[in-house]
Structure 1
Amino acid sequence: MNHLSIDDKKRLAQSYIDGTCTKEQERTWEAFLIDDSEAIDLHIQLLSSMELRMPILTDSVQFTNDVMSKLPTQLYESDMNSFEHKRRWYELPIFHYTVAACITILFMTTGMFDMLIPGKLDVIEQRQSQPVSDQMMDMTITWLDQLKR
């Protein structure tokens, strides 16, 4: 790879940076960049000198607007619309949520979630107590009886 002279490397690098080289020259220069540290230094030097020759961008907003106006917007919008119409029923999010809910209910009813925790589960026994509504009725009746006396 190091068979090129420094002037040849410089010409090849300049044509690579300018975008005027052929595909074969492009591959050759990229191979030089990988293998040869002198080529990397030359490439960086040429890029730095090119930076000084570039025009100063005074109105970046206008430049951005010009670039964006040149992009084809209709092509992208039509592709997105056609993509949404081609979705199959099993690709819809509602289908996925429904399947997930059904699987969760199935696991809950079969006790699958109980099997995830090893060991014996302590069951909290409920004490037999009078419902709150009955307790409130008893208190109200007692209060009314006291008012009658």
Structure 2
Amino acid sequence: MSHQPQDELELWRSYIRGSLDSITEARLDALLQGDEAAFAAYTAALSSLESELPGLEDEAAYMLAIMEILPQAKLSKERGGSRKSWTRHPLLHYAIAATLTALLLGSGLFDLIAAETDHLMNQADASSLSERMMEATAGWLDSWKR
């Protein structure tokens, strides 16, 4: 960007008119997304070209069309939003986790795992603890499938 305000204003005017090469246009696009000063310069150039830019042919019809679309968009958002809101509620996730924990505790699964782990940790084998854990888990899963 140029340091002179008039050159900068003319650059943004060329950008708005679409008369820049693609590389400069891409650079200015990137500036608009991340630089507030560039955006302010762009809006100044846009307002200075207001008389050149095309206006709405029927502004009232355009506003009515937008106003008709808004209630439909709001209704569709409300319909979809209410269904998602209860399924994403943390209390539901907590209740599911608590129920699963209670089922696993009641079935004795944690007792089996604890007993097997205690047995494996107290062995004096030369094999590593992780190998023994894998063997015990595989054996437990095989017996559970039967």
Q: Give the TM-score normalised by structure 2.
A: 0.34
* Max Rg structure: 1
